[in-house]
Amino acid sequence: MLALSHLFTSMRNSVGGITYTANRYASIVGRARIKPVNPSSNAQELMRTQFNAAVAGWKALSDAERIAWTNFAKDTPWFNALGQQVALTGQAMYIAQRTAAFAADPTFDKMDLDACACVPGLFPSPLVTVDCCVNPTVGLIVTVQNLHDTVACDAIVRISSPQNFSRNYWNGPYSYPGQILLTGIAAGATDDAEFCPLCLGRYFIQVRVFDGVDHNNMSTLVHTFGDACTLPA
């Protein structure tokens, strides 16, 4: 769990089992000290590859493209893990948008992702509802509604591993191999991602939508949960 320090303005490293860090976006953040792990899972290696490709992509942009991303980021609010609004640099915004898009679908056109959305602001976050699958299958149906007035969207839907029904919070990881990409959701329309069958349990769901034309403007993440169950006959 992350928390802000109200006592110190400068602190680094670990003290009494608490590790203190800070960055350009926030005050000092304290978290329980944990031993670093590096499982080198397929999902982890995929994200590393995508991040490195995004960094290389930023270096390859023209000066005009970088300026466009910087101006876009300047007037586009972003929220960190503590829920605080922060201002990203143009490079950070480009990397965030591109890595998320490639995680959703590696076949997205690189040229589309390099082009900046230009109009400040993120794609409207979708309306997400969760229902059980039809009896007798145990699972979840995640319904995503595109709340944009005129533009179609694509949506990426991921779920967690099964958790205890009493659990109300989940920090990840979400399943990348089991993700579902919904494409061409018209403005105001809905589409369903079906995760059936599943084991009984509580599942946490992560949804992000993209401009369905250029994929260069995404929403903030929407997190929710649903209980995999069997509907009554």
Tens digits of per-residue pLDDT, 3-24?
555 555 555 566 666 776 666 6
When the pLDDT of each residue in the chain is averaged and rounded to a whole number, the result is 81
pLDDT band, very low/low/confident/very high, at 189 (cuts 50, 70, 90): very high
Q: Report d(CA 163, CA 140) in Å as an integer.
A: 14
pLDDT of residue 177: 74
Least confident of 25-29, 98-102, 110-114, 127-131: 25-29
CATH of domain 127-228: 2.60.40.10
What is the average pLDDT across 173-196?
89
pLDDT of residue 67: 93
**Residue among 128, 120, 151 nearest 205 (CA):** 128
CA 160 from chain centre, in angstroms, equals 13
Q: Report d(CA 211, CA 153) in Å as an integer.
A: 5
DSSP per residue, 28-84: EEEEE---------HHHHHHHHHHHHHHHHHHHS-HHHHHHHHHHHHTS-EE-TTS-
pLDDT of residue 233: 43
pTM: predicted TM-score of the whole model, two decimal places:
0.73
Higher pLDDT, 154 or 47: 154
What is the average pLDDT across 167-186?
85
| CATH 2.60.40.10 residue window(s) in the chain | 127-228
What is the average pLDDT across 205-217?
85
